[in-house]
Chains A and B, each alone.
Chain A
Amino acid sequence: MTALAFVLPTLLYLLALSVYPLFYAGWQSLNLSNLFNPTVTHFIGLRNYTDLFEEDFFWISVKTTLVWTIVVVSVELVLGLALALLLDRKLRGVGLLRSLIIIPVFISPIGMGLTWRFIYEPVGGLGNWLLGSVGLGESRWISSTETALPSIMIADIWQWTPFVALILLAGIQSISPEILEAARLDRVRGPIYVFRIVLPLIWPVLLVVALIRLVDSIRTFDLVYIMTRGGPGSSTLVASVYDFTIFQAGNLGKMAALGFLLLLLINALVVVFLRALSRQERRTRRAARV
């Protein structure tokens, strides 16, 4: 009984400030409701959703979000694994390196986004100066529709690769020393070591970190908003930023509808990943029994 009493405050809190708002948002998404004229609210069923499906901007934002998520997460996983392997060594001061590399994770996306905007300044910015000094032409970075999305991706990858790396590193370091010793005696090195020994053993950790990054990338807002507001044109219009512009336009019902679609997408992803994880766990357990 006490056990329940201890969780109850948390459950009630979440019920009031997370579950209730969710239902409220769900109800809003079925209504026509305007920020600037709150007295006129009426039920319109799924109209907000069907309206969204007929909009070009909606499909642009879906496409941008998917491209953004896929590119950013896969690059972060690959670079993160490389960085983890690089930092997995017995070197004096490696602890210092590990705590230095984590600093980007703790910077606010707002501060980070501005730092990168400054780097991308067309005149006097570090980016063009670097390109110039290796003999390449200048780029317009976030002010051209072609380079804006990749430019923001660079900033995101810069911030989150260390996060992925440190989690994978913890996974690598929890591999039993006997296995690593056996690999060393068998002279397993290089790619075979990485792909045949390390990767299979840290697979569950990799799945979890991939899930965390996927979810956070799908709902990404701060970084894109502070760097481009979704522009130029609609070249960086990810779903959350588009949803915010709908809010600014006062169309609350439609805002809630798009938010809900995002929520559904994220839920689907989480379910797929949890399935994969539990399958993995069963397999490991079966292997352990044999």
Chain B
Amino acid sequence: MRSPLRRTWNVLAVFVVATWLFPVYWVVMTSLKADRDINTATPKFVFDPTVNNYQEIFERFQFGKVLINSFVIVSVATAITITLALLAAYSLARMRLRGANALALVILSFRFMPGVVVVLPYYLTFSELRLTDSYTGMVLVYVAFGLPFAVWLLRGFLLDLPQDIDEAARLDGLGRLAILRRIVLPLAAPGVAVTAIFTFVFNWNEYLFALILTDARALTVPVQISKMIDAYSVLWGNLSAAVVLQLIPMVIVVFLLQRHIVRGLALGAVK
């Protein structure tokens, strides 16, 4: 009796998701079009694909260098963030620390800070210390930016593990750091991976800090993309290629860790 109705809903679900992703499909298509197929009176759905746009952004907009900048800054920042966050989360979730829950909330509250408030002190201090437009400066900022949420997320994952494994390991004479590294870390690996990904993505996409604190040497991908429209007439093909290049690593990651990511998202909100 209810099977036709259910099928209608299923078809609707597929249809909604497909429609929702249309802008993504569109930017991928645009990145593969020659200019004559982009600047048309009506949008063109059939065309000869070309990779010209991808070649051009490497030649004209130093995209190779910018990708490396972003990749190095964001990877180093993520590694430091996860190390610090793992220690803190382990303590907050699994050691007898008085006021652990309140402290976790205090740390989380920094996630809500508007960027425009702290970017000015960063700018002024960094100018004095000659840290503007440097990898070091950007890493420092991004660790501060990602740490609160990473601690919160990891704490959620660590709370989920049964408490008695620590006790058992302690009776075996392991120290706290050894327990964390040899026992908790392997068990919490998916959670650590998800946290690392979220940290990476936030930094990879970050714009305001990079806009104000970098100039030439440490320019990141989002800033370079935004500069592509300032300096020239809008080259939609090139821009789309840049957007797609920025997106590709994220999509790969989403598919590799799809189940864990949804769980991570939920955990960040529910716990």
Contacts and interface: CB of A to CB of B under 8 A. Distances in A.
Interface string B229-247: 1000000100110110011
Interface size class of A (residues with CB under 8 A): 35 or more
B94 to A, nearest CB: 9
B251 A270 contact: no
Contacts of A104: 20-21, 23-24
Given A107-B250, A263-B117, A119 B84 contact: no
Interface string A211-223: 0100100110110
Contacts of B85: 10
Given A7-B88, A9-B84, A125-B43, A18 B144 contact: yes
Interface in B238-264: 239-240, 242-243, 246-247, 250-251, 253-255, 258-259, 261-263
A181 B143 CA distance: 46
Interface stretch (A67-75, A254-262, A280-288): A254-262
Contacts of B103: 7
A18 B118 CA distance: 7
A119 B26 contact: yes
A106 B84 contact: no
B97 A97 contact: no
A7 B27 contact: no
Interface in B90-135: 90-92, 95-97, 103, 105, 107, 109-110, 112-118, 120-122, 124-125
B262 A170 contact: yes
Interface residues of B, number: 88
A59 interface: no
B41 A14 contact: no
B189 interface: no
A124 B42 contact: yes
A158 B253 CA distance: 21
A289 interface: no
Interface string A135-161: 000000000000000000000001000
Of B40, B84, B201, the most chain A CB neighbours within 10 A belong to B84
Of A118, A163, A205, A247, the most chain B CB neighbours within 10 A belong to A118
Interface of A: 2-7, 9-11, 13-14, 17-18, 20-22, 24-25, 28, 38, 83, 86-87, 89, 91, 94-95, 97-104, 106-111, 114-116, 118-119, 121, 123-126, 129, 158, 162-163, 166-167, 169-171, 174, 204-205, 208-209, 212, 215, 218-219, 221-222, 225-226, 240, 243-244, 247, 252, 255-256, 258-260, 262-263, 266-267, 270, 274
Ranked nearest first, the 6 interchain pairs of A and B with the lowest CB-CB distance are A170-B266, A108-B205, A6-B91, A21-B121, A259-B117, A17-B144
Interface of B: 6, 9-10, 12-14, 16-17, 20-21, 23-24, 26-27, 30, 38-43, 84-85, 87-88, 90-92, 95-97, 103, 105, 107, 109-110, 112-118, 120-122, 124-125, 140-141, 143-144, 147-148, 151, 176, 201, 204-205, 207-208, 212, 221-222, 225-226, 229, 236, 239-240, 242-243, 246-247, 250-251, 253-255, 258-259, 261-263, 265-266, 269-270
24 contacts: A3-B91, A6-B95, A7-B103, A9-B84, A21-B117, A83-B16, A89-B6, A95-B258, A98-B262, A99-B261, A108-B221, A108-B246, A110-B205, A115-B26, A116-B23, A167-B270, A204-B270, A205-B269, A218-B114, A221-B208, A240-B116, A247-B116, A258-B116, A262-B117
